[in-house]
Structure 1
Amino acid sequence: MNDDGLGNTTSKSKEIQVKIMYEHKRKRMNVEHDRLSSLPDDLIHKILSFMDTKLVVQTCVLSSRWRFVWTSTPYLKFSTWGYSLLEFSNIVEHVLSGRNNEIDVYSVTLYFRGEVSQVFVKIIFNYAFSHNVQEMTITSTEKKNFPLSLFNSVTLKHLTLCGYPNLRVTSSLELPSLTTLHLHHVTLYDDNSDSYISKCVNLKNLTLDHCYMMGSCGFTICHPQLLSLTLKFVHGVVKAIAPQLKNISLALSYNDYFPCFENALPSLEKADICIHYPCDALKIINMLQQLCSNKYLTINMEILELLSSKMDLISNQPSPFANLETLKVYPLTEILIGQTQKKVDVSALVKSYLLDSSPNATLTMVSREEVRAAKNETLAQECFLKIHCCWEDLSELISYEEQKVSCISSELKYIEELLTHIPESKKVKMQELFASMCEEADTVMNKTLERLKI
């Protein structure tokens, strides 16, 4: 090093220290980069499927390895969020025109605002259908009617349609390969509501989540192939005729209409019933009787507590479940920390009502104390994880602080050595500056060391 340029020496030393300090981080980043780049394209595509397609396209600048990866991705994900409609249309046109047209599209996720008649919506739909799309998730803020006839595909198997705040749909679905349909915040307008799904001949799984039924007849599900039905806070009457139904999941509030299963459900195996703030015990009893073939029943404790307060309704009723193998009871409400809650005992009569016809069934009851304890355990584990992450960050910070202190000390010793070789005529001024710097360094380093001791 030069001994005639103290500033240059200090600068070089700091540069060396910085390089040493971040070298291991750079190596780790390079290793991760190399590992990712060495993965096969199909696995990279799966990882990138969680990103917006515009960001996926931008990976082409990473290296020559990544230049054309995006052109063969089977996952398309678009959102108008943060773009003008013109900007978004240009993005869609750029992506679809640059994509390898010989590669099928597996899934399309689209969030858009405005009317469904916009050109880019039709372009995306037509492109997906012409490339044998299998899964679609569409979220729309469309305030006018959304025609289901837009979905014209012989390959589509899974369709999720979401509306914010609520999507009004018209016409019907004609998707011969569709097996799973999820409608979220959708309003159905039609007195003959079964026409929405009657042409989906292979439909196996149907979910209605926060949907509204506006027809005078409600929503009638008459489907011979349906295996699984999920109803979450559906507003309106739902009738179901599904002889092959195996799984039912119901989440209702106290004022929701209870679904009506007009015929027996001989194939039913699993039912998960959740009613928030139940108040009509008679409706609950009638619904349980419709699920008589069920084998695995999960029900919230508040339902049993309500039945325990209305024992006159079940005192002469036979147990509805002849095939029950497992009954699980869990609470929706829990005991809060520092709060006492009146405990309602589940009567032996209610347990007998549910289990007498299936004496070998296993009963599992989860108490509110157990729910609270499990939640506290989860929160504690999360706190441990946060502390562990903080320790790692703090460890790196302490290491960095120690390196800085060592660097300052080394530089001061080196300056002191250099001063012994400076002519007397210049040494006095340099020694004054050195003494001042040492005093300032002592103050800074002492504060740093005190902080590290904590």
Structure 2
Amino acid sequence: MFPCTTVTHVCSPKLCNLTITDIPAYAKVLNVVAPKLENLTASISTCGGWCSVDFLQLSTKGFSSLEKVNLSKSNENDREDRNFPRLLDLFKKLSSAKFLTLDMDIIQTLSSNLDRLSREPGPFQNLKSVKINTSRLQHTDPIPTIPPQVRDYFLENSPNATFIIASPQGPRKRPRQLAHENTMSKKVAKLEERC
């Protein structure tokens, strides 16, 4: 067994794309040295395991080339009060990102302490868009409301960035008028055939 203080290293000067899905239970800190990293996709919660590691702690000097970051939380049972400061720390390390995609669980964690969040300086200087992924929601669920403090945190230093909430996809019904017109046109065509 490895102690919980174990650091896992990812070191590659040429690495452009990194996907982090399964963090070993013994890895408390993931140290990434990739100065040319452009795209990062990560599930920031781990399985917990015997040493109760439940949140990715990224150790890096920063990613100056970072374009796209896609973050999700894989463990819904994570304690938001403990993960809130860790999430803020992670955002500081990813502050050069231009396109940020987050799931609703991350927004929920940020919303758990709106007073503190409103006092935190927004770390993102180059954001062009923030997309909130709601794919876990059912298409019948209401579109969630994002607190203004959360929007302000992301857009404070990138006021021209767009804030997008991606609604869950579901089967779409045809508009009533269009359905009626299609049915009538088919009936007319059949009548003309008979004549």
From the superposition, tell whether residues 326 and 243 of structure 1 become closer, same or farther in structure 2 (CA, over 3 Å).
same
Shift of 1:218: 3.0
Task: Indicate conservation of the 8 Å contact 1:302/1:331, yes or no.
Answer: no
- Matches of 1:348 and 1:216, distance apart in 2: 37
2:148 pairs with 1:356? no
| Equivalent residue, structure 2, for 1:220 | 9
What is the aligned partner in structure 1 of residue 101 from structure 2?
Answer: 298
Structure 1 unmatched ranges of 5 or more: 1-188, 190-212, 378-454
Distance 1:243 1:234 in 2: 21
Instruction: Establish whether residue 375 from structure 1 lines up as the match of residue 170 from structure 2.
Output: yes
Counterparts of 2:90 and 2:61, CA distance in 1: 12
Q: Larger RCO: Structure 1 or Structure 2 (Cα < 8 Å, ≥ 6 residues apart)?
A: 2
> Could you list the per-position Cα deviations for residues 379-438 of structure 1 after superposition, in whole angstroms to 9, with x for gaps in the alignment?
xxxxxxxxxxxxxxxxxxxxxxxxxxxxxxxxxxxxxxxxxxxxxxxxxxxxxxxxxxxx
Distance in 1 of aligned mates of 2:153 and 2:163: 13
Distance 1:245 1:252 in 2: 17
Give the conservation status (yes or no) of the 8 Å contact 1:244–1:265: yes
Change (3 A) 1:293 1:215: same
For 1:253 and 1:217, locate their aligned partners in 2 and report how far apart those are by CA, in whole Å.
17
In structure 2, how many angstroms separate the alpha carbons of the residues matched to 1:215 and 1:296?
32
1:247 maps to a residue whose letter is N
Q: Structure 1 residue runs of 4+, over 4 Å off? A: 213-216
**Contact residue 282 and residue 313 of structure 1 kept, 8 A:** no
Q: Percent identity?
A: 27
> C-alpha separation between the residues in 1 aligned to 2:136 and 2:4?
34
Report SS of the residue matched to 1:239: strand
- Correspondent of 2:71 among 269, 273, 277: 273
Corresponding residue for residue 286 of structure 1:
89
The secondary structure found in structure 2 opposite 1:375 is coil
Which has more helix, going by share of residues?
A: 1
The Cα shift of 1:316 comes to: 1.4
Q: Deviations over 1:108-138 (max 9, x none)?
A: xxxxxxxxxxxxxxxxxxxxxxxxxxxxxxx
How many Å apart are 1:344 and its aligned residue? 5.8
d(CA) in 2 for partners of 1:295 and 1:285?
17
Give the CA deviation at 1:320: 0.8
CA distance in 2, matches of 1:215, 1:315: 33
Retained in 2: the 8 A contact 1:227–1:245? yes
Query: Contact 1:228 / 1:247 at 8 angstroms: preserved in 2?
Result: yes
Q: 1: distance between equivalents of 2:55 and 2:133?
A: 23
Quote the residue 2:193 is aligned against. Answer: none
For the residue of structure 2 that corresponds to 1:307, the secondary structure is helix
SS in structure 2 at match of 1:314: helix
Distance in 2 (CA, whole Å) between partners of 1:336 and 1:269 is 30
Structure number, greater radius of gyration: 1
The answer for the alignment partner of 2:134 in structure 1 is: 331
Deviates most, 300-309 or 225-234: 300-309
Length, aligned pairs only:
159
Matched, 1:313 2:116: yes
TM-score normalised over the length of structure 1? 0.32
Q: For the residues of structure 2 that align with 1:248 and 1:293, how far apart are their CA atoms? A: 12
Give the Cα–Cα distance (whole angstroms) in 1 for the partners of residues 5 and 121 of structure 2.
35
1:214 is displaced (CA, Å) by 7.9
The separation in 1 between residues aligned to 2:139 and 2:160, in whole angstroms, is 35
> Is the CA contact 1:297–1:326 (under 8 Å) kept in the aligned structure 2?
yes
Tell me which of 28, 39, 42 is aligned to 1:247. Answer: 39
**Structure 2: stretches of 5+ with no match in the other structure:** 49-53, 173-195
Helix, strand or coil for the counterpart of 1:248?
strand
CA RMSD of aligned residues (A): 2.7
TM-score, length basis structure 2? 0.71
In structure 2, the residue matched to 1:112 is: none
1:375 is displaced (CA, Å) by 2.7
- 1:252 offset after TM fit, Å? 3.4
**What is the Cα deviation at residue 245 of structure 1?**
1.0
Task: Quote the Cα distance in structure 2 between the aligned partners of 1:313 and 1:355.
Answer: 16
Of 213, 216, 231 in structure 1, the residue corresponding to residue 20 of structure 2 is 231
What is the CA–CA distance in structure 1 between the aligned matches of 2:9 and 2:121, rounded to whole Å? 29
**Structure-2 separation of matches of 1:344 and 1:239:** 34
Q: Shift of residue 332 of structure 1?
A: 4.5
1-structure distance, mates of 2:113, 2:5: 33
